[in-house]
Structure 1
Amino acid sequence: MREEVTRERVIDVATRLFAGLGYDMTSLELVADSVGVSVSTVVGLAGDKRQLYLQMMDRMYEEHRGRIQEVIDRTESPYEAAHQIADAYMDVFLANPDLLALWAQRWASDATGIPEVEDLYTRPLMQMSARKIKDVVPPDLGPYAFLGVVIWCVNGFLSTGLLAPKKGMLRSDDVQARNYFRAILHIIVDRMLAPPPTTPPPA
């Protein structure tokens, strides 16, 4: 008996296609063919192409938001939170390569007909993170620029790797390379943060 096609199945297939080919190069016909159903079935389950894309991004966002919220809730020190937020961004992309690929497609001018994507899925994460760390970021940098640098560094390493100290490249699929980059990332975070307040010596 043929397995029932669900909305989740359609979104799963569409996610892989959007990540691999981009929104602009992925048609509903291709999604339907990949699922093994008609276009009308895809639309009935998940909406048109734009709606399908946004539902996919909704699901990705909720997982990412959950990781950042967990850091914010469990970490009292904004200094420690800044480091853990950097780790969370890296870990989310490592665990979800399709998410990194989707954003890489977006940065290559994919889905420009959906201009609200960053405001829907990037800005809320930046805002919640910025509120947590704003008091420990120097005012001439500010929390949004701080987070931007962290995200650019993480995305750059995961997408292209890092030039090795002596020869060749360090790629993100190598555990030792990840550990090396993570150590560098934490040094960068430290350099960008304001010095922690010192406790005055007892009188």
Structure 2
Amino acid sequence: MGTGDASQDPTDPHVQTVVTRLFSELGYDAVTNQMIASAVGVPVDVVTEQYGGKRALYVQVFEDANQRWRDHVRDTAGEITPDADGLRQLINLYVDHCLEHPEMARLWIHRWLSDASDIAGLEERTSALNMRQALEVIGPAVRPDVDAEALMLTLVWVVNGYLQSGFPDAAGRATPPDASGALDRFRRHLNELIRLVTAPTP
């Protein structure tokens, strides 16, 4: 892309697609302003002066990815009940969302590995809101002896891990998470985990 008007705007879809790919694949710490400029096709001073530099772009990408998920849940909230069936639906919705938007899980995995550790406050503006929204479904669905928050985090870790490497093949190598039969197997496994920790639906 050249240096026309659109490329000067950090909210331009092309700019957002490029920087999202860079941050989700490489992590914030490995990306430079020059890398962003080269990938977008603009001078580096456009990135630093008009985009706000990689820090501002990263914060926007991270917050937008999480907001996109919360909006998706909100748009289907009327169909998700606060019980075992609703929890299954919510988790499968998360799987589908992350398959369509793989940057969501990858950004979080980098973050868990202390990527962008100098940028404080992201969890309060993203993870805390995600958790609050999910617990509205998970809390009433689980048995009284189950820690709803720990369960929610466990399911997120399981899903995010699976989406990066699928089920290992016979040689222990990663496989595509949407490989034939693999995704159905994974969903069955999630459903069984949920069955073990939830109260029976009346």
TM range (shorter): 0.7 to 0.9
Moved over 6 A (4+): none
Which residues of 2 match residues 40-55 of structure 1 at below 5 A? 40-55=45-60
Higher Cα Rg, which structure: 1
Indicate which of 63, 66, 74 corresponds to 2:79. Answer: 74
Partners of 1:195 and 1:173 lie apart in 2 by 30
Q: Does 1:27 align with 2:47?
A: no
Residue identity (%): 30
Partner Cα distance (1:133, 1:33) in 2: 44
One of 92, 95, 105 as aligned partner of 2:100:
95
Alpha-carbon shift at residue 168 of structure 1 (Å):
5.1
Q: How far did 1:77 drift?
A: 4.8
Please, which of 186, 189, 195 is the counterpart of residue 191 of structure 2? 186
What is the distance in 1 between the residues matched to 2:171 and 2:75? 37
Whether 2:14 is the aligned partner of 1:17: answer no
Query: Are the equivalent residues in 2 in contact too, given 1:28–1:49 (CA < 8 A)?
Result: yes
CA deviations over 1:31-55 (Å, ceiling 9, x no partner): 1122121233224443232211111
Aligned-pair distance for 1:172? 0.6
In structure 1, give the amino acid aligned to 2:78: D
SS in 1 for 2:15: helix
CA contact (8 A) 1:23 1:110 kept: yes
Q: Which runs of 5+ in 1 are unaligned?
A: 198-203
Change (3 A) 1:77 1:25: closer
Q: Bigger shift: 29-38 or 96-105?
A: 96-105
C-alpha deviations, 1:151-178, integer Å up to 9, x for none? 11111211232256xx456641303100
Q: Distance in 2 between matches of 1:44 and 1:102?
A: 24
Task: Report the Cα offset of residue 136 of structure 1.
Answer: 2.2
TM-score, normalization by structure 2: 0.85
Which one is further off, 148-157 or 181-190? 148-157
- Select 2:158's aligned residue among 144, 153, 156: 153
> Does 2:136 correspond to 1:131?
yes
| AA in 2 matched with 1:150 | L
Alpha-carbon contact 2:85-2:201 (below 8 Å) kept:
no
- Picking from 163, 171, 177, the partner of 1:172 is 177
- 1:200 corresponds in structure 2 to none
Q: Indicate the RMSD between aligned Cα atoms, in angstroms.
A: 2.2
| TM norm structure 1 | 0.85
